Structure 1
């Protein structure tokens, strides 16, 4: 295991153990070493490592997203090796009362970073928060987000015709432009963008698609199966191993910073590091998600920032990849750091 520090007192749930490679120990050591080196860098850069409260607060709504907490994945929320469709995941506890009409609600819409979904912040007006988020998604990433590699697979000109939510299923009716062009990856990516954006709201656990008023059971020229409502677990291959739900790209953060999201990493462990524009480490911490090894779990922690220069910064997630036998640090979130 890469880290001994736990976010909960109970051992995380894991899927049945798969054969372990002989390089497990070196990989775990590599991740621990990377964090240790970042601690040294913080010390020489004028500040110590930021401490973190690793006690998860499962089910608590994010302060920035009072009406848009994503559904919490469960062990049943991962597609089985045989391809059997999983049941929809249960929504995380949300606000007991809906936001007042006309109130601005902060949420996230999901673009692509490489071939994986990545949230970006948007504000929508209550009570039509899910519809507002989908319209913001269809508008595409802004110039700053594009400058940081965020893209969209949704064809320009796609519009939302209608939206209905019943028993946790959102029926999203889009214009026919939505299925124009692209191969299987592009088709599945644009479906994932809509699904992740809609299911960020607790009232939605899965999505049923319609085009120009008609139900869709096969999507695109490759015939992606949409005979049933689909949820986040149907797009695990398009989800980063560590999906940071907050903070999001472009956010301005001040310590302590709440960092939360989902993860599916080797033995449920990974690391989080926040650096400033000079590369000085403002915070670093090992994290243990609620599950791993093929079962997506959640994480939620608070990190203190120390010894950094105000201005541009980056949050980076690092984890062991036993398949590639190397340390991976691909999940990055550009931020603005303030004291």
Structure 2
């Protein structure tokens, strides 16, 4: 059986919408690009002032350094890494002595033999840490040199800047600081600066820079300075009993407060005060808070008697763990007051 053939006409074709869609997509794309360049910065990021894009916020507020290859990231320009060490403006101290102001007593650290030894100085507040470092760079005075105090810091070294942030002092010195000297001299001059800076409670360690450039390895011996260094890094240049006070040249009366640190066998040590005729004015035994490889602290009140005032000396001693002999570890010339 044959079926009749149905004839249908094709529906009318609609106009193509592709050009309109393409234009819409292009407009949205351009709009999105515009928001990415000038929109809000994401949390935890800082705007890149060169291009307006965002880069991870630097935790210490310094310029983001270029990559190791020296190439910049695509789409933005990174300025060259600053050669100036990071500073905290709120705690940056001026390197020039301020006019007027209150005089404050500080300590600077020279060398007695091959060990650090404090000496008193007066500096003008409020830039006391910078003042102490300038006084250190000036070297020991005649009285101190006469009692064998020396310095490993080259003459002519200048303090360029000092900034303290989170307990770390960034000390920028002139290039003279690394002139000459062997391994011992290089470590000794570092220890002098570290001890002087860390005498202040706000400073626990030191970073070094020379002529504005951070120092990672110091001197021909390549002393490692890739991290901040503190007093513990120079234990070999610290006397077994370090008398922090009184200091060389001080005038003392009875009783005298004697304080400092010690790293001796079983934490034991002795203190002796003598007059100009070498007569004993006081002799006591003390104990530090720790010893036998761990440096501890001590703080003693020592009464003494002397027939007459005048030159004297405070000596710290300890018993050698090897043979029990008495070892003099600190000699502090003082003036005794009756």
Q: List structure 1 runs of 4+ shifted beyond 6 angstroms.
A: none
- Residue 104 of structure 2 is aligned to residue 128 of structure 1: no
1:33-82 residue CA offsets vs partner (Å, 9 max, x unmatched):
xxxxxxxxxxxxxxxxxxxxxxxxxxxxxxxxxxxxxxxxxxxxxxxxxx
1:269-299 residue CA offsets vs partner (Å, 9 max, x unmatched):
0100000011111111100000000000000
Equivalent residue runs for 1:40-79 within 5 Å: none
Match of 1:163 in 2: 162
Match of 1:35 in 2: none
* Separation of aligned partners in 1, 2:210 and 2:172: 5
1:229-278 residue CA offsets vs partner (Å, 9 max, x unmatched):
00000000000000000000000011110000000000000100000011
Q: Which runs of 5+ in 1 are unaligned?
A: 1-100
Q: Which runs of 5+ in 2 are unaligned?
A: 1-99
* Separation of aligned partners in 2, 1:235 and 1:117: 9
CA contact (8 A) 2:318 2:329 kept: no
Equivalent residue runs for 1:246-325 within 5 Å: 246-323=245-322, 325=324
Equivalent residue runs for 1:214-229 within 5 Å: 214-229=213-228
Distance 1:292 1:308, change over 3 A: farther
- How many residues in Structure 1 have an aligned counterpart in Structure 2? 239
* Separation of aligned partners in 2, 1:105 and 1:264: 30
Structure showing greater relative contact order (alpha-carbon pairs closer than 8 Å, 6 or more residues apart):
1
1:308 is displaced (CA, Å) by: 3.5
Match of 2:115 in 1: 116
> TM-score scaled to structure 1, two decimals?
0.69
Query: SS at 1:291's partner residue?
Result: coil
After TM superposition, the structure 1 stretch with the greater mean CA deviation from structure 2, 303-312 or 190-199, is: 303-312
1:154 is displaced (CA, Å) by: 0.1
> TM-score scaled to structure 2, two decimals?
0.70
* Separation of aligned partners in 2, 1:228 and 1:216: 10
CA contact (8 A) 1:277 1:309 kept: no
* Separation of aligned partners in 2, 1:323 and 1:249: 30
* The structure with more radius of gyration: 2
Match of 2:64 in 1: none
* Separation of aligned partners in 1, 2:225 and 2:219: 10
* Separation of aligned partners in 2, 1:153 and 1:291: 30
* Separation of aligned partners in 2, 1:154 and 1:278: 35
CA contact (8 A) 1:169 1:206 kept: yes
* Separation of aligned partners in 2, 1:254 and 1:243: 20
* Separation of aligned partners in 1, 2:192 and 2:317: 24
Match of 1:106 in 2: 105
1:325 is displaced (CA, Å) by: 4.6
CA contact (8 A) 1:281 1:308 kept: no
